[in-house]
Amino acid sequence: MFFPITKKKIYFDSARSGGLSSELSNWRKNHEKLFLKEGSLFRDDNNKLIEEVRKGVSKFIGSVNNYTFLTPSFSLGFQSLLSFLDPKLNFLVLKEDYPSIINGLKLNNFNYLVLENSFDIEQKIIQKIKKSSIDVLAVSIVQYTNGVFLSINFFKKLKNLYPDLLIIADGTQFCGTRSFDFDESKIDVMISSGYKWVFGGYGNGFVLIRKTLKRFITKNKIQKFNSSVLKKIFEPGNLDTLNFGSLLFSINLISKYGLDKIEKKISSLSKYAKQQFLKNDLLDNIVKKRTNHSNIFCIKGDKNLYIKLLKKGIICSMRGGGIRVSFSFFNTKKQINEFLKFF
């Protein structure tokens, strides 16, 4: 996999957009050439391709024994999910989580409690569920601002403690960075966009649903709980073969390269980065105290520094009151050291 943006830039911004590989760019060009040549006949194999995408996602994410649907983004997939859930459900969310979570609950008039972020957030979640009347936990596996990572083992533990709890996870900042098996995770619903760590470009994502969701639906909105009914909710109309075909192509490219290799490289870089950031006192207290972390960091820094970094060819983002950097398999320790020269 080759990403042209990395040739002349230090690209620490996959948490914002994973970039476009040369391989996917070529596939997309050929896709559009075929459309140009064939017109309406081009769509004759549309359903076949979309089914291949679903199967590809299921295999990649480990959702072989559960439902897999396609969605243009996490936000739209989450809204579609909320549209048929019981309106009396009480949600627990994190204060600085991805905005579409709380916004979606507000728009659909759900009751929710907001939990403040802390270094021991897992324990705080367990305590809040124990003390309050919580039916649903809606949370990102990796927090987009500071990279706090809720491990899959935590979700398993949570489900063992509270088997009647519905767990909805945003996997956008997680999928593509580590090996994962949805069927084994105990997460009930996971929704993810594909334009970050899966490198699928914009306008694609997926929804994974365990059959346990059936207990939480409202029957006046959905009479039967099966694949054909859910497909009408998450996949209305004709699906875009360019965007969803891009998702399949990139997933296959990652699988060919080796997700285990990507995970190993990202893990090594992230551990090194955290050590260096701690030495330079660049991390907030929450991340400092945690032993398990992702590949996303929010560094102490202002807009002036951010602009300076961009001018020097170091691509990052302003998030969470600081400068967010995120590391992919194509980054290096040398690049991290170059970044540290600005502090």
pLDDT digits (tens, 9 = 90+) for 172-217: 999 999 999 999 999 999 999 999 999 999 999 999 999 999 999 9
* Residue 1 belongs to a domain: no
Mean of pLDDT values over 6-29:
97
Are 165 and 159 contacting, i.e. CB atoms less than 8 angstroms apart? Answer: yes
* Residue 110 belongs to a domain: yes
Residue 24 has pLDDT above 90, yes or no: yes
Token output for 276: 């260096």
Percentage of the residues of the chain whose pLDDT score is greater than 70: 100
Alpha carbon distance, N-terminus to C-terminus of the chain: 32
Q: Are 273 and 248 part of one and the same domain? A: no
- Band the pLDDT of 45: cuts 50, 70, 90: confident
Q: Are 140 and 163 part of one and the same domain? A: yes
Count of Cβ atoms closer than 10 Å to residue 33 Cβ: 10
pLDDT digits (tens, 9 = 90+) for 227-239: 999 999 999 999 9
User: How far is 188 from 213, CA to CA, in rounded Å?
Assistant: 7
Calculate the dihedral angle through the C-alpha atoms of 32, 38, 44, 45, rounding to the nearest 10 degrees: -40
pLDDT value at position 17? 97
Q: Are 272 and 228 part of one and the same domain? A: no
Distance of CA 203 to the CA centre of its chain: 14
Residue 220 has pLDDT above 90, yes or no: no
Are 2 and 321 contacting, i.e. CB atoms less than 8 angstroms apart? Answer: no
The whole-model pTM stands at 0.96
pLDDT digits (tens, 9 = 90+) for 109-145: 999 999 999 999 999 999 999 999 999 999 999 999 9
* Residue 2 belongs to a domain: no
pLDDT digits (tens, 9 = 90+) for 314-325: 999 999 889 999
Q: Are 292 and 314 part of one and the same domain? A: yes
CATH number at residue 188: 3.40.640.10
* Residue 3 belongs to a domain: no
Q: How many independent structural domains does the chain possess?
A: 2
pLDDT value at position 224? 87
Q: Are 327 and 184 part of one and the same domain? A: no
Q: Are 163 and 207 part of one and the same domain? A: yes
Closest CA to 150 of 134, 133, 138: 138
Are 190 and 208 contacting, i.e. CB atoms less than 8 angstroms apart? Answer: yes
CATH number at residue 327: 3.90.1150.10
Final residue belonging to a domain, choices 190, 221, 255: 255
> Which residue is associated with the tokens 């403040």?
116
Residue 42 has pLDDT above 90, yes or no: no
pLDDT value at position 223? 80
Helix ranges (DSSP H) in 132-181: 152-161
pLDDT value at position 334? 97
User: How far is 236 from 60, CA to CA, in rounded Å?
Assistant: 24
Q: Are 37 and 174 part of one and the same domain? A: yes
Domain of residue 264: give its range. Answer: 9-20+259-340
Final residue belonging to a domain, choices 255, 285, 313: 255
What is residue 291's DSSP assignment? S
Final residue belonging to a domain, choices 197, 227, 255: 255
Token output for 298: 């929010």
pLDDT value at position 98? 97
Residue 218 has pLDDT above 90, yes or no: no
DSSP reduced 3-state for 121: helix
Percentage of the residues of the chain whose pLDDT score is greater than 90: 93
pLDDT value at position 54? 96
DSSP reduced 3-state for 263: helix
pLDDT digits (tens, 9 = 90+) for 243-301: 999 999 999 999 999 999 999 999 999 999 999 999 999 999 999 999 999 999 999 99
Residue 146 has pLDDT above 90, yes or no: yes
pLDDT digits (tens, 9 = 90+) for 79-107: 999 999 999 999 999 999 999 999 999 99
